[in-house]
Amino acid sequence: MLRNYIGLANSFHDSALAIVNSHGEVIFAEATERSLQSKRALCMTPDLVHHAGDVIRQYCEPGAAIVIARSWEKGPVHLPEGTLRSLDERRFTLEKRYGKIPEGLQTELSATKHGVLSMWKAKAFAGQNIEFELDRIGWARPFIEREIGYDHHLTHAAAACFGSPFRDAACAIVDALGEDTATAFFSYRDGALTPFYRQASISGGQGFSGLASLGLFYVKVCLACGFGVHTGEEWKVMGLAAYGSPNQKLLSFFRRMIRVNGLSLETENEGDEERLALYKLRRAALNSEEIAADVAFAGQQIFADTLIELLNNFYKVGNSQNLVLGGGCALNSSVNGLILERTPFKELYAFCAPADDGNAVGAAQLAHREDHPVVCPKPQLQSP
């Protein structure tokens, strides 16, 4: 049966839609922010009414059944009541302790609640417009053969490896968050992706026992520099770092926030005082960006040292001399340029869209592979 595969990157930020045809070729891929002209397309579904149907009509093969593939495992239908209740309890505790919740902690509470609700909506409802759109464009029934959700970091790995020039590679996904962790490692050989190592769930802990996220670390540095995370300004930290100088106090401050243990990342248990100290470090919007240059330098330095140490540990397991890097942290091109110099890997490939929008491609490719397990992708660089 002829099938086309519609991949949906369905995070609440950087959503995207991709189409893979019956031959396994990526024939369309577009971040939602492009058609909307709204940076990061926050809280916008990837299957936009009118736009999605027009894309399907133009790029899908006539008469093909549709398989919808999402970049997260199936989301819950019901609201995350337990998480929302715990946030209300934390708010009550802070009010009891401080009277009026300090601005930095109030900001954290609001951002966390927004992220939880936005992610729930993105996971629960992405793809619901497609049947309407197929009806609108008069697509012959049957429309949708099946819908499937994949592990988030697996879609990162698929997008990165299937478009790489390698037949075998060690694949590192270093991200902000996945279903329950921030990093995952895979072995790639002849079109097959095998999970290699996955750090345990992110949680708090005593000392350096809480597992950490390098992507969330960089978010904190970005905010401390006075840049916008939801407006996609992490790249400004990377650029501003070149104008900064080493500041041992700042380096020590950021170094306490994250460290490497084998193939896992760990963090100190972050209390309210540490959160407030980080918030007080933030550059005021009216101040020159140059004031934050040393903050950017320190954050970029710790980010680079941490990622390089993690990749050196990955090489030691003897997986491959070829490295495929994916996840949001692979957007840091400054560090990417150091990897072959500071690790034993001989070759490096970073997918052109390593963050969540690229997962639309990965999800669609995984669904095609599920139906064609013996078809091996040709090693070739995929054009952006």
Residue 200: which pLDDT band, with cuts at 50, 70 and 90?
low
Domain assignment present for 106: no
Length of the chain: 384
Span 129-140, pLDDT tens digits = 999 999 999 887
Which range of 189-203, 208-222, 258-272 scores highest in mean pLDDT? It is 258-272
CATH number at residue 246: 3.30.420.40
In 3D space, the residue among 158, 140, 132 whose CA is nearest the CA of residue 70 turns out to be 158
| Whole-angstrom distance, CA of residue 238 vs CA of residue 224 | 13
**pLDDT value of residue 158:** 97
One domain, residues 158 and 195: no
CATH number at residue 128: 3.30.420.140
One domain, residues 311 and 170: yes
Domain assignment present for 245: yes
* 99's tokens: 């009277």
C-alpha distances (whole Å) from 31 to each of 13, 25, 265, 358, 372 are 10, 18, 30, 8, 26
One domain, residues 51 and 157: yes
Domain assignment present for 111: no
The domain containing residue 28 runs over which residues?
Answer: 1-74+123-163+354-384
One domain, residues 175 and 157: no
Under 8 Å between Cβ of 13 and 369: no
| Whole-angstrom distance, CA of residue 77 vs CA of residue 124 | 6
Span 201-221, pLDDT tens digits = 554 433 433 568 999 999 999
**Is the pLDDT assigned to residue 142 strictly greater than 80?**
no
Domain assignment present for 107: no
One domain, residues 171 and 69: no
One domain, residues 203 and 316: yes
pTM score, whole prediction: 0.93
**pLDDT value of residue 210:** 53
Domains held by the chain: number: 2
* 339's tokens: 């990897």
Domain assignment present for 108: no
